[in-house]
Amino acid sequence: MQILPLFIAIPMGAAFVLAMLLKARHSVVDILANVVTAVLLALSITLIMTKGTITYEMGRWAPPLGIVLVLDGLTVLMLLIVNLIAFLATIFSISYMERFTAKAKFYSMFMLMLTGLNGVILTGDIFNMFVFLEIASIASYVLVAFGTEDEELEASFKYMVISSVGGLFILLSIALLYAMTGTLNMAHLSQIISSQKSGIGFLFTAALMITGFAIKAAIVPFHAWLPDAHPSAPSPVSAMLSGVFIKTLGIYAMMRVLVNVIGISILGRAWGIMLVLGAVSMVIGALLGLGQKDYKRLLAYSSVSQVGYIILAFGLGTPLGYLAALFHLTNHAVFKALMFFNAGAVEYATGTRDLEKMGGLSEKMPVTGITSVVGTLSISGVPPFNGFWSKLLIIIACIQAGRFSYAVIAILVSVLTLAYFLKVQRLAFFGKIKETLSNIKEVPVPMRVSLIVLAVLCLVIGLDAFRIVQGMDSSWLVRVLLNPAKEVLVNGTGYVSSILPK
């Protein structure tokens, strides 16, 4: 398929072109960046209808020697999410980033990050995956420090040290894999691993991998950087980081490597660690979120908690668990991006992120107010919005797998989530407006567009999912996107046969 390399080539080319446009007018830069992300979104929409697995050999070097780009169900889903959020984030940036002077530099780094994300999703070579992972990470370190205030630099430094150590863990495990198998192509790796008897070496490698990816995904013992880094970035970037970045670099890469390459069967009972990690992340993220006064910091803790849900469902290892994990991943990308855009809109209008200095904003900012209610209801799992369905599926999957205690934890954390988001609503949007805020205005049109599109998506996905009641396949989203993605995971190491010839 000829368009696969474009997902990497277009944003990377745009990054360098934008870096040369430092002196250009802001409108030119805006148009260029938005056209690029719009094209990428359109390309990823055209991929929806592809069936089966498609590979593209880079430079016509056949696997296992050459690098392949792989397109299967899981890739299609991830590409669609990443490019959708990226498109909305660039629209949002048109107005939001006006107060920063170096807009071209911002877009340039943004495109580089997008290159890394698309690359991680598409690549079929494990070292190549590491390289794209680091491209995305380095761009994100710069974006976190973009405001160059004290807090932002500090957060960026902390994030950079922790996340790079995570990257080195991944590199070390890749080195070990290469030492044991002598190949780097993921499909070929999987073939060799499944033909070998002893699993101890691979178990150790998998442990290193889980550590590395857990640091990148900010799962609870390794979450310390996230609540500093995500709020410090400019809001469109926070939305990208929380919405898709930690999922692509952490969860997607982990799923791909553990399920498709190493194979869960080698891990055996050690796989249960995922359930524990997920449950601990859910609880601790939610508890820490309760006490926050800073709007974006609260959202960042909520990301830790919601990623816990995804890891928990993924760790169940059942087909329904995978489906629920992917569904929640999609939904979380949509509503968390929406909520960070909301926080950005509030910050844009009022100039503060402190919840106690806000109040009654709904009166002056109706669009932001209404969309934030939609986001709140979605994330806390209130029907008919999308979050309800994915959380319901996670709970059903837990019960189906016989893990009742985890199901109870999932329900309790959902209640906690509702509690702290109601606090946001009460402090920021409801009640009487403060004297100091009496002359604020609703945000400009481009920001409103992003907010409305995401809020509508929350509702539409939720309404579409109502049809799950009549059987899984009657929902469009499940039938067209989630099921093919789930099949890839259920298929496990069967991934090989679709990529390597013969």
Partner 1 sequence: MMLIYVLCMILFAIGIYGIVVKKNLVKIIISFCILDYAVNLFFILIGYKKDGIAPIMMPGQDKAQFVAQTVDPLPQALVLTSIVIGLGITILMVAIAIRLYDKYGTFDVMKMRKLKG
Binding site for partner 1 (CB under 8 A): 127, 130-131, 134, 138, 141-142, 145, 148, 150-151, 153-158, 160-161, 164-165, 167-168, 171-172, 175, 178-179, 184, 227-228, 288
CB nearer to partner 1: pick between 204 and 404: 204
Q: Among residues 211 and 390, whose Cβ is nearest to partner 1?
A: 211
From the CB of residue 257, how many other CB atoms can be counted at a distance below 10 Å? 25
CA-to-CA distance for 37 and 41, rounded, in angstroms? 6
Nearer of residues 257 and 397 to partner 1, judged by Cβ: 257
For partner 1, which is the closer residue by CB, 147 or 494? 147
Residue for token pair 């820490």: 288
Closest CB to partner 1 among residues 126, 477? 126
Q: How far is CA 377 from CA 233, 243, 348, 383, 457, in A?
A: 25, 17, 23, 8, 13
> Nearest distance from residue 1's CB to partner 1, in Å?
26
DSSP calls for 49-72: T--S-EEEEGGGPPTTTS-EEEE-
As measured in angstroms, the least distance from the Cβ of 308 to partner 1 is: 19
Residues 482, 172: Cα–Cα separation, whole Å: 32
Nearest approach, Cβ of residue 157 and partner 1 (Å): 5
The dihedrals phi and psi of 303, each to the nearest 5 degrees, come to -65, -40
Instruction: State in angstroms the smallest separation of the CB of 185 from partner 1.
Output: 12
Encoded tokens for 319: 């087909």
CB nearer to partner 1: pick between 72 and 228? 228
**Which residue's CB is nearer to partner 1, number 163 or number 368?**
163
Q: 411-417: long-range contacts (C-beta < 8 A, 24 or more apart)?
A: 413/282, 413/283, 413/286, 413/305, 413/308, 413/309, 414/380, 414/381, 416/286, 416/287, 416/289, 416/290, 417/286, 417/289, 417/302, 417/305, 417/379, 417/380, 417/381
